[in-house]
Amino acid sequence: MKSDGTSIPVSSALVLPPNPGTTEFSYVAAALGVADRVHFRYRLDGIDEQWQEAGTRRTAYYTQLPPGRHQFEVVASNEQGRWAESPTRLDFEVRAAWYQTVWFSIAVVLLSAGILWWAYLLRVGVVASRERSRMHAITSERERIARDLHDTLLQGLASASLQLEVADRQIAADQSAKPLVQRVTQLLRQLVDESRQAVRQVRSQSSEEEDLERALTQISNDLAAPRRVKYRVVVEGTQRRLRPLVREEIYRIAVEALANAFRHADASTVETVLEYGRDCVRVLVRDDGQGIDPHILNAGREGHFGLSGLRERASRIGAQLTIRTGAGVGTEIDLLVPASAAFDRPAPRGLSHWVTKLYRRGAGP
């Protein structure tokens, strides 16, 4: 036997060096008188699927044998063409190079997984940074709009309201124009109050700087909810960090839904349920008020875009919005945001999750 031209003595513990270039197996048959009539065939376990017909050739060649244990078999035929019942076998081993070992393969897999994880974290960081930049731009634009509203529209309405109050005091009580001036003055006061609330909402950064639960709790104060209305926030599940833009849209949807409940539902109880699930985050706003007229639910109130705005915001973040209502039974506005859109990372799977999964598998169908 030779490996790369070097003769190797045959023994019971035959070991070849790593990556042998050319390996030669030489063999003979004990039939010296009719040597030219003896034919051979051979095969190498793991390399040859079938016997290789060698004819009278007495050498077999193999190149680049893989690491591991191998068995070379050779069988001869006599002058009548009858093959021996059992082949002659030679067991040997080819050593593995350092880069062919199992430990090297494991190290490569771990290194590849580490690189992929690092690339994933880098991508998440880039996306998060991009979202923070967009949120900063949105907040800056919102503050600019709020300043413009306060310095122009709100100040103008307040000035007009004051001038009407002065005119009202100068009009005699028996004048026919006095009730009209008083009604316009009252409408202007209401408009000024609603404008101030709108400016506060535009300038509000609670949905960005605080957690969503605290922001939802503060909404009743921001909207100046009637004192007779009982309002509460219920949080279910383990709180998780939401993507900034998604959190902003959820907050704005909740603001619009609660504004409708406080101002138009004539409700005594309003509740917001914030649920952090594994597959989604859910916000449910419900009241026990008079419900929404079916025509308004389908077509919207003329001059108002609250319901259509809710649907547009939900569609923007890939969420599902469902409105359930009925006369005298109140209204439910149900928002479901998929986890893939709501969260940066999937929810961790705890021990209880795997125990439950194994239990279900063992229980069968």
Residues ≥6 apart with Cβ < 8 Å to 111: none
Domain boundary among 65, 96, 127: 96
Give the least confident one: 62-71, 99-108, 190-199, 279-288.
190-199
pLDDT at 363 over 50: no
In this predicted structure, the answer to whether residue 209 has a pLDDT above a threshold of 50 is no
Same domain, 186 and 113: yes
Whether 182 and 245 share a structural domain: no
CB atoms within 10 A of CB 202: 16
Q: What is the pLDDT of residues 17-58, one digit of tens each?
A: 999 989 999 998 876 556 677 899 999 998 999 999 999 899
Q: Are residues 73 and 87 in the same domain?
A: yes
- Does 156 lie in the same domain as 87? no
Position 305 scores a pLDDT of 52
Check residue 301 and give its pLDDT: 57
Position 278, amino acid: R
Q: What is the pLDDT of residue 210?
A: 54
Are 223 and 329 in a shared domain? yes
The answer to whether residue 309 is domain-embedded is yes
- Same-domain pairing of 337 and 262: yes
Does residue 114 have a pLDDT over 90? yes
Q: How confident is the model at residue 309 (pLDDT cuts 50, 70, 90)?
A: confident
The mean per-residue pLDDT over the stretch 305-313 comes to 78
The token duo for 148 is 């413009």
Q: What is the C-alpha separation between 51 and 92, in angstroms, rounded?
A: 19
Q: Of 203, 226, 254, at which residue does a domain stop?
A: 203
- Measure the CA–CA gap between 320 and 313, rounded to whole angstroms: 10
- Residue 365's pLDDT is 41
pTM above 0.85, yes or no: no
Q: Distance between CA 261 and CA 287 in Å, rounded? A: 7
Residue 339 lies in a domain: yes
196 pLDDT higher than 80: no
State the CATH number of the domain containing residue 17: 2.60.40.10
List, in sequence order, every residue forming a beta bridge with 59; answer none if it has no partner: 26
pLDDT value for 178: 83
Chain centre distance of CA 106? 28
Nearest to 54 by CA among 69, 43, 66, 39: 39
Is residue 324 situated within a structural domain? yes
Average pLDDT over residues 82-86: 88
pLDDT for 72 beyond 90: yes
- The domain tally of the chain equals 3
pLDDT above 70: percentage of residues in the chain? 84
- Of 96, 121, 138, the one marking the end of a domain is 96
* Beta strands 280-287 and 39-44, pairing class: unpaired
Q: Which of 142-151, 218-227, 263-272 has the highest mean pLDDT?
A: 263-272
Residue 310: give the domain boundaries. 211-343
SS3 156: helix
Between CA 5 and CA 118 the distance in angstroms is: 48
The answer as to whether 44 is a domain residue is yes
What pLDDT is recorded for position 118? 93
Q: Select the more confidently predicted residue: 303 or 25.
A: 25
Write down the mean pLDDT value for the chain: 82
Q: Is the pLDDT of residue 106 over 50?
A: yes
64 and 131 both lie in a single domain: no
Integer-rounded Cα Rg, in Å, for the chain is 42
Confidence check: pLDDT of 74 > 70 = yes
Q: Do 41 and 108 lie in a common domain?
A: no
**What does the alpha-carbon distance between residue 48 and residue 37 come to, in Å, rounded to a whole number?**
25
Q: Which amino acid is at 342?
A: A
Interatomic CA distance for residues 283 and 316, integer angstroms: 16
CATH number for the domain harbouring residue 323: 3.30.565.10
**pLDDT tier, 222 (very low <50, low <70, confident <90, very high otherwise):** low
Beta bridge partners of 77: 39, 83
- Residues 154 and 268 both lie in one domain: no
User: pLDDT by residue (tens digit) across 158-172?
Assistant: 778 788 888 888 888
Q: Is residue 31 part of a domain?
A: yes
Say yes or no: 134 and 12 in one domain.
Answer: no
- Residue 352 domain-assigned (yes or no): no
Q: Could you tell me if residue 303 is left (phi over 0), alpha (psi between -120 and 50 degrees) or otherwise beta? A: left
Q: Where are the alpha helices (DSSP H) in the chain?
A: 102-148, 155-170, 177-203, 206-209, 212-222, 244-264, 294-299, 306-316, 339-342, 351-363
pLDDT, residue 220, reads: 77
Q: Is residue 18 domain-resident?
A: yes
Distance CA 255, CA 189 (A): 23
Distance CA 18, CA 67 (A): 7
CB 140 within 8 A of CB 205: no
| Phi/psi-derived region of residue 324, left when phi > 0, alpha when psi is between -120 and 50, beta in every other case | beta
Q: Please tell me which residue, 199 or 210, carries the higher pLDDT value.
A: 199
Mean pLDDT within 178-185: 84
**Size of the chain, expressed as the number of residues it contains:** 365
φ, ψ for residue 91 (rounded to 5)?
-95, 135
Is there a single domain that holds both residue 222 and residue 295? yes
State residue 179's pLDDT score.
85
269 and 230 in contact (C-beta within 8 Å)? Answer: yes
Q: 3-class SS at 214?
A: helix
What's the rounded mean pLDDT across residues 118-131? 85
Asked whether residue 132 falls in the same domain as residue 226, the answer is no
Can you give the pLDDT at residue 43?
95
Residues 330-362 pLDDT 10s? 899 999 999 988 887 665 555 555 555 555 554
Residue (of 283, 271, 289, 272) closest to 326 by Cα position: 289
Query: Is 32 within the bounds of a domain?
Result: yes
